[in-house]
Amino acid sequence: MGRFTSIEELRKACSDLPARDPEAEKQARDREGMLTKPPGSLGRLEELAVWLAGWQGRVKPKLDRVEVFVFAGSHGVTARGVSAFPAEVTAQMVGNFEAGGAAINQLAKQVGASLTVIPLHVDRPTADFTVAPAMDEEALLEAVNAGYDAVKDRPDLIVLGEMGIGNTTVAAALSTALLGGAGADWVGRGTGVDDDGLRRKASAVDDAVTCHGDALKDPIEALRRVGGRELAAMFGATLAARHQRVPVLLDGFVCTAAALPLASLDPDGLAHAWAAHVSAEAGHRRLLDAMQLKPLLDLGMRLGEASGACLAVNILRGAIACHNGMATFAEAGVSDG
């Protein structure tokens, strides 16, 4: 039996979100002001250190236990010709993750993070959401629970990502449902579709919006109707992290879209999450802007797999190395102007 046994329980968990530790955050901010540098000169590194301190409840944050989760799912909307790759690549890539051959295996190793790959019925695609809800309530809850239950014993940081052929169309549909506009505003080339593929993606999103209508106004119902299992799992993991006050790094367009329902339900719902990068997927910058998230990296990446988010762990390490290790003006005998 998973964590949530009804949509009502899930809704309640989304409306009952803990805050950061104000005392740890204040002390970390005060410490930043005492370190041997002109105030603010480490830019966003200072913000990051204070953010980690607030959520971890430690004036000197740690990144000893960093956990990467990659969720995989399959999508009925692939029948509409929305990806440059066949749907079976999802299961094949799960095999590649398990064998250690994917980009995320190398990047997780490079930052000393654990990597957990969680396939979610990749042999059983969700329904084509242009004509029916992608998931019934049971399937939605099962996927949300898979993500929620993956976050255990309060790690120092979680890093989220996904694999799912067709899921940039899913992310575009969820963005359109919750933020408005037309499919063409949110779709991009994903794994590399041509102009016809791009038009098919926009039409699929527009058809989904027509099919589901006002039901999409509710963020959880939108996740069920036009989401997918790996998106629901990333949503669940983001929610679990919040309940444990664990900071989160979000990956690209698909991962950010998965977290969007939490932001739609509560304007402060993603205060514990940082957008690690802006991907090359056309809709990602628009989505980040709408969610008021500032990405750390802009490297033209468009892989998914948590790759951009995992890379950004290096930035967080730099931030806490300075925050934890620097001398204060008083300690170093440097005049503080």
Ligand X SMILES: O=C(O)c1ccc[n+]([C@@H]2O[C@H](COP(=O)([O-])O)[C@@H](O)[C@H]2O)c1
Taken in order 35, 39, 45, 47, is the CA torsion positive or negative?
Answer: positive
Q: Is 203 in the site for ligand X (CB under 6 A)?
A: no
Q: Half-sphere exposure (CA, 13 Å, Cβ side) for 110?
A: 16
Q: Half-sphere exposure (CA, 13 Å, Cβ side) for 244?
A: 19
In order of 42, 81, 196, the CA distances from 169 in angstroms are: 38, 10, 14
Q: How far apart are CA 101 and CA 84, in angstroms?
A: 21
**Which of 191, 203, 244, 314: binder of ligand X (CB under 6 A)?**
191
Q: How far apart are CA 148 and CA 3, in angstroms?
A: 7
Residues 225-264 that bind ligand X (CB under 6 A): 251-255
Q: Candidates 29-37, 77-85, 176-184, 258-266 — which segment interacts with ligand X by CB under 6 A?
A: 77-85
Q: Is 305 in the site for ligand DMD (CB under 6 A)?
A: yes
Q: Which does 252 bind (CB under 5 to 8 A by kind): ligand DMD, ligand X, none?
A: ligand X
**Which of 56, 74, 168, 264: binder of ligand X (CB under 6 A)?**
168
Q: Candidates 13-21, 58-66, 139-147, 276-284 — which segment interacts with ligand X by CB under 6 A?
A: 276-284
Q: Which does 247 bind (CB under 5 to 8 A by kind): ligand DMD, ligand X, none?
A: none
Q: Is 85 in the site for ligand DMD (CB under 6 A)?
A: yes
Continuous segment of H or E residues that includes residue 248:
strand 248-250
Q: How far apart are CA 103 and CA 101, in angstroms?
A: 7
Q: Is 163 in the site for ligand DMD (CB under 6 A)?
A: yes
Q: Is 244 in the site for ligand DMD (CB under 6 A)?
A: no
Q: How far apart are CA 195 and CA 171, in angstroms?
A: 19
**Which of 74, 83, 126, 176: binder of ligand X (CB under 6 A)?**
83
Buried b (16+ CB within 10 A) or exposed e, 296-311: bbeeebbbbbbbbbbb
Q: Is 189 in the site for ligand DMD (CB under 6 A)?
A: no
Q: Does residue 221 carry a catalytic annotation?
A: no
**Which of 249, 250, 303, 316: binder of ligand DMD (CB under 6 A)?**
303
Q: Is 283 in the site for ligand X (CB under 6 A)?
A: no
Least gap, CB of 253 to ligand X (angstroms)? 4
Q: Is 308 in the site for ligand DMD (CB under 6 A)?
A: no
Closest CA to 257 of 189, 192, 124, 162: 162
Q: How far apart are CA 92 and CA 226, in angstroms?
A: 24
Q: Candidates 4-12, 79-87, 127-135, 239-247 — which segment interacts with ligand X by CB under 6 A?
A: 79-87
| Residue 118: φ, ψ to 5° | -125, 100
Residues that bind ligand X (CB under 6 A): 83-85, 162-169, 190-191, 251-255, 279, 281, 284, 302, 304-305
Q: Which positions are catalytic? A: 305
Question: What are the residues binding ligand DMD (CB under 6 A)?
Answer: 85, 89, 93, 163, 191, 303-305
